[in-house]
Amino acid sequence: MNQLRIYGIAASRAFRPLWTACELAIDFEHIPQGYRHGATRNPAFLEVNPNGHIPVLTEIRGGTLITVWESMACSLYLADVYGKADGLDLSPASPAEKAQALRWSFWTVTELEKDTLSILMHRIAMPEAERKPEVAETAEKRLMLPLSVLEQHLIAQQTNEYVYLAGSRFTIADLCVASVVSWARAASPAFWERFPSTQAWLRDCLARPAHQQARNLP
Ligand SMILES: N[C@@H](CCC(=O)N[C@@H](CS)C(=O)NCC(=O)O)C(=O)O
């Protein structure tokens, strides 16, 4: 088997598979490919991902080159292929846990990502002069509905003494969702007041040593 490679700097969506790989303690080669100023738009990189995006994950198994793009797909692939379905690590250990991982990660990219990114960009990431607070406010308003779904799910889990999305331990479902909800940390205090269970869950996910380890990558 050829070395597993993950392309993409940690300060990008590549953080998702990097965090996953750190959680699973996998041996991998990190290629800290940047993305600004067309860095992913040259012929060499377009061979790896014709979409011109990071992250990308590659490995050779049984003589076949496997290429995974799309950050959530990369994370789900790692959990599926490298994790143990033993009910201890972050991989789904039953069809019910697999269902949680799939539905929450697809939900995250379709229902959350665009608006959490607007909050991140227009509250803290862009130079102050370019920020538009009204864009962040609109995004916060739109996020009320999906985040209420997350909040209610977490509250329902607590009645079963579960802290996490799929059960009593941190799984890939939590990682996929937390990596995107964390972009909304800069939302207004009035916004976050409505989601105390989500806040507590997020704090817990982000305090994990593997999260810190991935953050320290270039
Ligand atoms: N849906 C894709 C989006 C990937 C994406 O847009 N990546 C950004 C960095 S976070 C990128 O590569 N941008 C450079 C470009 O598109 O030229 C995923 O989740 O992997």
Report the C-alpha gap between 95 and 101 in whole angstroms: 10
* Residue pair 159/210 in contact by the 8 Å Cβ criterion: no
Cα(92)–Cα(100) distance, rounded to whole angstroms? 8
> Is the domain defined by 95-212 classed in CATH 1.20.1050.10?
yes
Give pLDDT, residue 100.
Answer: 97
pLDDT of residue 162: 85
- Atom index in ligand 1 nearest the CA of residue 36 equals 14
pLDDT at 1: 53
Spatial contact of 49 and 56, defined as CB atoms under 8 Å apart: yes
Question: How far does residue 152's CA lie from ligand 1's centre (Å)?
Answer: 30
Ligand 1 pocket residues where CB is under 6 Å: 12-13, 35, 40-41, 52-55, 70-71
Distance 182 CA to ligand 1 centre (A): 17
Give the span between the Cα atoms of 142 and 42, in whole angstroms. Answer: 36
Q: Rounded distance, CA 103 to CA 116, Å?
A: 18
If you write DSSP's letter for every residue of 94-114 in order, what string do you get?
A: SHHHHHHHHHHHHHIIIIIHH
Q: Pairing between strand 56-61 and 5-7?
A: antiparallel
Q: Which ligand 1 atom is nearest residue 41's CA?
A: 17
Every domain of the chain with CATH number 1.20.1050.10 lies at 95-212
What ligand 1 atom has the least distance to the C-alpha of 69?
20
Query: CA-CA distance, 169 to 187, in Å (whole number)?
Result: 27
Name the residue at shortest CA distance from atom 16 of ligand 1: 53
For ligand 1, atom 4: residue with the closest CA: 53
Distance of CA 196 from the midpoint of ligand 1 (Å): 30
Fold of the 5-83 domain: Glutaredoxin (3.40.30)
β 64-69/56-61 pair status = antiparallel
d(CA 47, CA 42): 9
- What pTM was computed for the model? 0.97
Domain with CATH 3.40.30.10 in the chain: 5-83
Do 90 and 20 form a contact (C-beta atoms < 8 A)? yes
In angstroms, what is the span from residue 34 Cα to ligand 1's centroid?
10
Written as tens digits, the pLDDT of the chain (218 aa) is 569 999 999 999 999 999 999 999 999 999 999 999 999 999 999 999 999 999 999 999 999 999 999 999 999 999 999 999 999 999 999 999 999 999 999 999 999 999 999 999 999 999 999 999 999 999 999 999 999 999 999 999 998 888 999 999 999 999 999 999 999 999 999 999 999 999 999 999 999 999 999 999 99
